[in-house]
């Protein structure tokens, strides 16, 4: 297999020598080739064909039992200097990284095929976009990359004879957790992932390239790669405001990106457009404002909890041409997951491939789940009913507001606005989410996750904060920055805010504030809404609850500032002074 690109050919030859596949196949992006590969995977059991009448084009895959989530402890940033990876990343020296991983890659593809996947993150040819080439021995990876990225000959044509690309090498090897490494070499624009078959570890265009490597490139080249959804809110006048929002995992990013306006707001004729649910690449354009594209072309969403109420658009998106991973297989060849649609099936095959019935008890004494809590659907963005008409626009969309959020039972009010860009960067840098009873860790414990990028920033996070501050200083019309918390609870632990579609009420306030249509009052933590400016039409919520949603408890905030100080100390003298100033100003305002 030869392309017109000499460097690409040489690299493939080198990797072939190490991995020793039986053959090398170029993925051309055609449906014909995809169907041939899927047929092969049905024969080996790598994929299971689902009921083609009810779920046309859909397949199921089960990963190894010890391989169901991103393995952050086995994920490394390999830079010459440890300081460049910073205190929040695992670090390995590049030489050690290549050496250790090569030991596992060596002969890992004997008897297997190496697939060569040329892909573009972002519309091919857009000034935002970047090319990558992934080599893999997994048809499941090929199938997923065909959905979440733009793949094929047209990418190679664009790459030409000497275009730049990210070198992405993946092998399942033995799927042995003790021989699993996810390594990033930002100085070489290279990713090596071995020993895993789980999406976040192996769809190398996504978290590895579009966030870790891209954040590094973004800093060098003056743009931003962020863990953010992008959505557009259209008014009946046709005016559309786009917002980008960062939330840590399990805070409903996909649901927010695909939200449906609540009944009470429908009378205003709003439409919500989905641009992306996970990643935003943002650049400053000639108009001195920030524009964004979603570099992906599909969704890799969490299945459990997705149903016609929580996310009707996602449910419609995944009715065809969808890859399901680690969900329950029903007897009729369709799929199910906890908190999904339809009645609980009376039997099925669980995500581990074992017979399942509701209520059967696992080794831990608890009822066994049919679907893994991190089971997924991979579906083309084009199938989403709310997909933005500008989804493929090579110029991207202009960003009116940036939103940071976390899961906090108390402390953070429903919404507030930063006093300016630097204060907004401060709000991003102190983002935090609480561990709930449903997760590992002490309940109520707060985990800091600046800009939701802790697992994804490809360099020293102190430099990342500096990059954010610098980007703001370069813009005449920067987006306004906000913080939201959909998860405030009462004493009984019940949510105070209904969330889902009703979050549009908060977005409406955010957009009106960004366009300077309404005023707000100044609190110690930021600008807060006057209650009259939140449209609560059709929402049954009383004054007392509203007051609680906007309550700022000074004692809690003083405690919060102590925790932030401790977190900031991790970065030592590298922490930008601007953030210390913001923290001290907050302490002063709290009195
Ligand atoms: C994540 C994801 O882990 O999007 O953030 O899969
Ligand atoms: Mn994500």
How far apart are the C-alpha atoms of 309 and 339, rounded to whole Å? Answer: 10
Domain with CATH 3.40.449.10 in the chain: 6-46+71-221
pLDDT (mean) for 146-150:
98
Cα(424) to ligand 1 centroid in Å equals 24
Which CA distances in Å does 28 have to 4, 323, 406? 14, 19, 41
pLDDT (mean) for 348-354:
98
Cα(464) to ligand 1 centroid in Å equals 20
- 586 exposed, middle or buried (CB, 10 Å; 0-12, 13-18, 19+)? buried
- Asked if the model's pLDDT at residue 361 lies above 80, the reply is yes
Task: Using pLDDT thresholds of 50, 70 and 90, give the confidence band for residue 443.
Answer: low
Nearest C-alpha neighbor of 246 from the set 46, 454, 80: 454
Quote the tokens at residue 322: 């969808």
> What b/e sequence results for 339-358 when a residue is b if at least 16 CB atoms lie within 10 Å of its CB, and e otherwise?
ebeeeebeebbbbeeeebee
- Asked if the model's pLDDT at residue 189 lies above 80, the reply is yes
Yes or no: say if 362 and 355 are a contact pair by the CB < 8 Å rule.
Answer: no
Instruction: Please give the mean pLDDT across all residues of the chain.
Output: 96
Nearest C-alpha neighbor of 119 from the set 203, 218, 200: 203
- Asked if the model's pLDDT at residue 79 lies above 60, the reply is yes
At residue 131, the 3 state secondary structure works out as strand
Yes or no: say if 348 and 328 are a contact pair by the CB < 8 Å rule.
Answer: yes
Catalytic residue list contains 457: no
The atom number, within ligand 1, closest to the CA of 70 reads 3
Q: From the CB of 201, is ligand 1 less than 6 Å away?
A: no
- 499 exposed, middle or buried (CB, 10 Å; 0-12, 13-18, 19+)? middle
pLDDT (mean) for 506-525:
98
Q: ∠ CA 367-369-373 to the nearest 5 degrees?
A: 135
Task: Using pLDDT thresholds of 50, 70 and 90, give the confidence band for residue 414.
Answer: very high
3-state SS string for 163-222: CCCEEEEEECCCCCHHHCEEEEEHHHCEEEEECCCCHHHHCCHHHHHHHHHHHHHHHHHC
Sheet-wide strand order for 355-356: 335-336, 328-330, 348-349, 355-356
pLDDT value of residue 142? 98
The bound ligand whose nearest atom lies closest to the alpha carbon of 280 is 2
Phi, psi of 397 (to 5 degrees): -130, 150
Task: Using pLDDT thresholds of 50, 70 and 90, give the confidence band for residue 441.
Answer: low
Cα(375) to ligand 1 centroid in Å equals 11
Yes or no: say if 400 and 479 are a contact pair by the CB < 8 Å rule.
Answer: yes
How far apart are the C-alpha atoms of 243 and 220, rounded to whole Å? Answer: 25
Residues 419-440 have pLDDT tens digits of 999 999 999 999 999 865 545 5
Yes or no: say if 522 and 586 are a contact pair by the CB < 8 Å rule.
Answer: no
pLDDT (mean) for 1-5:
92
Percent of the chain with pLDDT over 70: 98
Task: Using pLDDT thresholds of 50, 70 and 90, give the confidence band for residue 442.
Answer: low
Residues 19-51 have pLDDT tens digits of 999 999 999 999 999 999 999 999 999 999 999
Yes or no: say if 145 and 55 are a contact pair by the CB < 8 Å rule.
Answer: no
Yes or no: say if 401 and 511 are a contact pair by the CB < 8 Å rule.
Answer: yes
Residue among 207, 247, 295 whose CB has most ligand 1 atoms within 8 A, to mutate: 207
Nearest C-alpha neighbor of 174 from the set 197, 151, 153: 197
Nearest C-alpha neighbor of 251 from the set 403, 472, 77, 467: 403
Global pTM exceeds 0.85: yes
Choose which CATH entry (3.30.1510.10, 3.40.50.1970, 3.40.449.10, 3.60.21.10) describes domain 6-46+71-221: 3.40.449.10
How far apart are the C-alpha atoms of 91 and 410, rounded to whole Å? Answer: 35
Q: Which CATH class is domain 226-297+388-552?
A: alpha beta
pLDDT value of residue 178? 96
How far apart are the C-alpha atoms of 316 and 49, rounded to whole Å? Answer: 20
Domain with CATH 3.90.228.20 in the chain: 226-297+388-552
User: Which positions ≥6 away from 470 have C-beta within 8 Å?
Assistant: none
pLDDT (mean) for 339-365:
96
Quote the tokens at residue 156: 């190679």
Q: What is the DSSP string of 60-120?
A: EE---TT-SS--GGGEEE--SSHHHH-TTS-B--HHHHHHHHHHHHTTTTTTSEEEEEEEE
How far apart are the C-alpha atoms of 249 and 339, rounded to whole Å? Answer: 18
The atom number, within ligand 1, closest to the CA of 200 reads 6
pLDDT value of residue 557? 97
Residues 283-331 have pLDDT tens digits of 999 999 999 999 999 999 999 999 999 999 999 999 999 999 999 999 9
- Asked if the model's pLDDT at residue 250 lies above 90, the reply is no
How far apart are the C-alpha atoms of 330 and 327, rounded to whole Å? Answer: 10
The atom number, within ligand 1, closest to the CA of 456 reads 5
Residue with tokens 């397949």: 59
Among protein residues, the one with the nearest Cα to ligand 1's atom 4 is 278
The atom number, within ligand 1, closest to the CA of 278 reads 4
Residues 219-237 have pLDDT tens digits of 999 999 999 999 999 998 9
> What b/e sequence results for 157-186 when a residue is b if at least 16 CB atoms lie within 10 Å of its CB, and e otherwise?
eebeeeeebbbbbbbbbebeeebbbbbbbb
Quote the tokens at residue 272: 């919500």
Among protein residues, the one with the nearest Cα to ligand 1's atom 3 is 249
Among protein residues, the one with the nearest Cα to ligand 1's atom 6 is 200
Yes or no: say if 175 and 196 are a contact pair by the CB < 8 Å rule.
Answer: yes
At residue 159, the 3 state secondary structure works out as helix
How far apart are the C-alpha atoms of 16 and 157, rounded to whole Å? Answer: 23
Yes or no: say if 196 and 219 are a contact pair by the CB < 8 Å rule.
Answer: no
**Catalytic-role residue among 208, 251, 384, 457:** 251
Yes or no: say if 337 and 318 are a contact pair by the CB < 8 Å rule.
Answer: no
pLDDT value of residue 436? 57
How far apart are the C-alpha atoms of 291 and 284, rounded to whole Å? Answer: 6
Residue with tokens 């006057």: 530
Among protein residues, the one with the nearest Cα to ligand 1's atom 1 is 249
Yes or no: say if 310 and 500 are a contact pair by the CB < 8 Å rule.
Answer: yes
- Asked if the model's pLDDT at residue 482 lies above 90, the reply is yes
Q: Which of 390-404, 442-456, 508-522 has the lowest mean pLDDT?
A: 442-456
Cα(157) to ligand 2 centroid in Å equals 30
Taking each helix axis from N to C end, the angle separating 214-221 and 461-473, rounded to the nearest 10 degrees, works out to 40
């Amino acid at each position: 297999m030869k392309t017109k690109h000499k460097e690409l050919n040489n690299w493939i030859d080198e990797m072939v020598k190490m991995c020793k596949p039986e053959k090398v196949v170029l993925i051309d992006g055609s449906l014909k080739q995809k169907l041939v590969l899927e047929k092969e995977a049905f024969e080996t059991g790598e994929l299971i064909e689902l009921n083609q009448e009810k779920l046309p084009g859909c397949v199921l895959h089960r990963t190894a039992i010890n391989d169901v989530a991103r393995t952050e402890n086995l994920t490394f940033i390999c830079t010459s200097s440890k300081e460049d990876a910073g205190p929040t990343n695992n670090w390995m020296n590049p030489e050690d990284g290549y050496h250790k991983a090569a030991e596992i890659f060596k002969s890992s593809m004997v008897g297997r095929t190496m697939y060569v996947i040329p892909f573009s993150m972002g519309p091919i040819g857009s000034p935002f976009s970047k090319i990558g080439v992934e080599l893999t021995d997994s048809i499941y990876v090929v199938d997923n990359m065909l959905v979440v990225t733009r793949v094929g000959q047209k990418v190679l044509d664009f790459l030409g004879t000497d275009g730049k690309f990210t070198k992405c090498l993946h092998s399942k090897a033995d799927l042995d957790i003790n021989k699993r490494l996810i390594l990033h070499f930002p100085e070489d624009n290279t990713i090596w992932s071995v020993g895993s078959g789980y999406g976040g570890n192996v769809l190398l265009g996504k978290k590895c390239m579009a966030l870790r490597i891209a954040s590094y490139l973004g800093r060098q080249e003056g743009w931003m790669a962020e863990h953010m959804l992008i959505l557009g809110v259209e008014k009946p006048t046709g005016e559309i405001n786009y917002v980008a929002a960062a939330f840590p995992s399990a805070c409903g990013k996909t649901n927010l990106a695909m939200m449906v306006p609540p009944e009470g707001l429908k009378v205003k004729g709003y439409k919500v457009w989905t641009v992306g649910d996970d990643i935003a690449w943002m650049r400053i354009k000639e108009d001195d404002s920030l524009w964004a594209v979603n570099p992906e072309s599909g969704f890799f969403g969490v299945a459990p909890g997705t149903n016609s109420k929580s996310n009707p658009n996602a449910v419609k998106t995944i009715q065809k041409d969808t890859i399901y991973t680690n969900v329950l297989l029903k007897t009729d060849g369709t799929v199910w997951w906890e908190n999904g649609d339809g009645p609980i099936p009376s039997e099925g095959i669980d995500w581990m491939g074992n017979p399942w019935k509701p209520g059967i008890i696992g080794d831990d004494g608890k009822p066994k789940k049919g679907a893994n809590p991190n089971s997924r659907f991979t579906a083309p963005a084009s199938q989403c009913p709310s997909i933005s008409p500008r989804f493929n626009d090579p110029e991207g969309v202009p960003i009116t507001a940036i939103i940071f959020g976390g899961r906090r039972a108390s402390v953070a009010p429903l919404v507030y606005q930063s006093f300016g860009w630097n204060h907004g960067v401060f709000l991003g840098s102190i983002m935090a989410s609480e561990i709930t009873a449903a997760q590992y860790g002490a309940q109520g414990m707060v985990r800091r996750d600046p800009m939701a990028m802790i697992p994804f920033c490809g360099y020293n996070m102190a430099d990342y904060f500096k990059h954010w501050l610098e980007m703001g200083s370069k813009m005449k019309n920067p987006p306004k920055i906000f913080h939201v918390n959909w998860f405030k609870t009462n004493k009984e632990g019940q949510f105070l805010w209904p969330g889902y579609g009703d979050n549009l009420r908060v977005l409406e306030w955010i957009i009106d504030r960004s366009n300077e249509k309404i005023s707000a009052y100044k609190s110690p933590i930021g600008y807060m809404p006057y209650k009259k400016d939140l449209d609560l039409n059709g929402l049954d919520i009383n004054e007392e609850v509203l007051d609680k949603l906007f309550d700022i408890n000074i004692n809690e905030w003083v405690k919060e500032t102590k925790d932030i100080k401790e977190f900031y100390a991790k970065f030592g003298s590298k922490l930008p002074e601007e953030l210390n100033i913001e923290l001290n100003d907050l302490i002063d305002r709290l009195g």
